Structure 1
Amino acid sequence: MAYRCIAHKKASRSGGSASCGRGYDGPDLISRLPDELLHHVLSFVTTPEAVRTSALSRRWVGVWKRVPRLHLLEEEATNAEHIPDHFDGILRRYAADVDIADLTITYHWHWPEVDGDRASAWAGFAARRVTGRFDLAVTTQVGHDDAFLDLPCFERATEISLYSSGMAVRLPALDAAGDFTRLTKLRMSELSFSDAGEGISGVVSGRCPSLESLELERIDGVEALTLRSESLLSLRLASVPLRRLEVAAGNLRKMRVEYCFDETTRCPWTGGAAMLLAAPALEELGWEDAYPDKVELIRLPTCLMELAVVELPSHIIHKIGQSDFTKILQLFSRAHVLRLTSPMTATATLDSQEQEDLIHSVQLPYYSELDLGVITNGHTSFGSTVVHFLKRNSSIRNLTLTLHSYHHKENKFAPSCMSNCTCHEPLKWWDQDIPLDTLEQLAIKHMSGHCEAKKLHTIAIVAETIATVIVTVT
């Protein structure tokens, strides 16, 4: 052996023997490091492991109390019956003069249960101590009408992620002192409000001067949402049932709306849904939702970097009475990248002629890159639609065709088409003159079993202008 451990060296000098497995017998070099380096070292281990270092020696007693990272996770606790008390103890013993850059608390057990008072106390601790990221995810038993998580103002935190299933959240009152001065990212999911959206609207519009990213997902109790912010750059709203959405953000770059108006649009007795949008700097828009009954556009760019529109599931379209994805497309005259998913696929209740009339009447924005997603729903005839897109825009450089067997919101595989379906008729587009003069790249994903996709692939291979052809088979 070229190298031998210290124990072997000592043993060889004394004529005895030793085992390397007994450990290192030399001086404790790690304990000689300054506190700042020890805190940095402990930031790479779990919080329970950091706490247990107090048993190493007197030098290590209390070192963990000054580590600027605390992750209190239920899966890392050793005694399930006392997890909330254990969390309280760690927070209580933590050094009072140290700022916390990263605090995460997660607890989803139904027993012992975390009530609103305890969750509010954890949030209050974070508001006083956190200077960076705060992530709170708690679950209580559904049905507790008096379970409220009171969220105070965070003067110093830069990021907040809040998950509060089973609890309603109460935001600071309008006359309460303090703001979310340094907050740049806010994410809330699986929670409810009891004020119809007035609180979150007031906080974002009046108390977050530095907010850049806002994400609300699966939120109840928000009928109207008013967001007025000059700092906001990114906005995502998903499964937030709304009757009215008002966004006035002069610097907003990215916006995505998913399943916020589909319920309201289907309920005419509510007066329908309304949206006001003022976003002159918008670059990327993603829309997977019904189109509101009333839309007021104050300032909106005519050109986008990316426009993504996803068709609603068929069962929602049937209840609404029509597919109105085309209204989103008509808002813009140009998009460098256009992503469309399933606006053209025939379903069990829409025959091919209806689909053909719909597609041919769509006023598409001008684009140079097309990402076309086809939800086949058991059908195999879609080549004519792809050819139609190619004909209507002779400047397409990149075309991506993705075949999906079913819609992710349908939660089921679509059946095969019937024997009399038009899919079984001879191809109508095969002999047409298809312009491919500018097309540089064609990608076909999930092509397995689709004859028309293979035909398109054949056309691409013989086209001289296409430099790259990518095919993935499933």
Structure 2
Amino acid sequence: MPTFGKTYAPGATRMPSSCRALNAPPPSHSVSAHGSRDRDGRRCWCLMKVSRALESLSLSLRDCNIDLGYLLPCCPRLRKLQIDSWQLDSLTVHSPSLEELDLSAPVLLRRIDISATVLKTLRLFVIHSFDNEFTLKFSAPLVDNLTWRYVCHSTSERFGVIWFMWSLTLLTPKSLGHVHGLPDNILWLNIGTRDNLGNVSRSFEQEISRIPVRNISCLVLQLATKGHVYGAMLLDLIGLYSSIQRLQVTINRYDKVKACSVNCPCHQPYNWRSQIISLTDLKEVSIEGFKGEEHEVGLLKVLPRCAVMLERVTINFPRNVPRSCTAYMELPSILKAHPSVKFKKGGPGAAVEPTVCNRKVPGSSHSLCTFVWVRLGA
């Protein structure tokens, strides 16, 4: 006959009247724990019985709390743990048996401490970002299926306009279903502009330092520029991960673009076009929504100068970009400045002369003109 343990708040002597004790779940089956509030509207602690043979546990904690420090030692065979709506500002998960952890938290987290020697899958979604004093302790050497997503509150005011990071997502190939795919850890950032800092005090660098993985090989940027110059910000950002191999940038996919004012300071600092960043591992660059404006061409000149091993540059123009735009006019000089790079449109064997192709953008009525820059011998 299985033995059972109880889990409750430290110091609690009895279970609040509004919180039920759950019967022990069958061994090796899932159980859902739904809490409630006491008469004063406060979240109560959940008291539950668990089997030591339990292997899978699902908890819904919208209105109650549970102490994992008491629960997990009572489940020495627990392999899978799913927690919906974690309500505390601190999360500690120590388990020698846990292989899969799926957690969502609608609160501002102050601390995460995960120690799980056989953990392979981790999915974390934090809706309200992390506290400014957030600390992370992470020891899970076998994790290869990772999704780490949270809403950000970080900004950068070192440029002419204020850029704000809305969300950050860290993905591994297995989390995307690529079991035998490229060994790319992907960092996906959503960034836009805003008029003021508000109460935000964290920088982009501080925000990115909160992720548990450092070997990022693919950086994906979703930018809502509102018509502002973004080259200085982008170069500063990719400088934080100079070892990336792939860079994918999407500009204003869901936003209507308005031209910024004549005296807008978004060009600052003015010296970004002469900047040199060491991007020795960068091999592929893809830019979607490229309109060929003067500052975008400036970025196009900087990237191959910084990435000496660059093999491919793909630029997607909206169909309505005129042939008289700066990009069309200056592409020949860019190619001449980098003779080791072969310029192709579309793919191998295509004509060098830029032309509009009728490839449709998924979910859009616009066609794209695609330019592909390929290094000779690639």
Report the TM-score, using the length of structure 2 for normalisation. Answer: 0.49
Higher share of residues assigned strand? 2
Higher share of residues assigned helix? 1
Report the TM-score, using the length of structure 1 for normalisation. Answer: 0.41
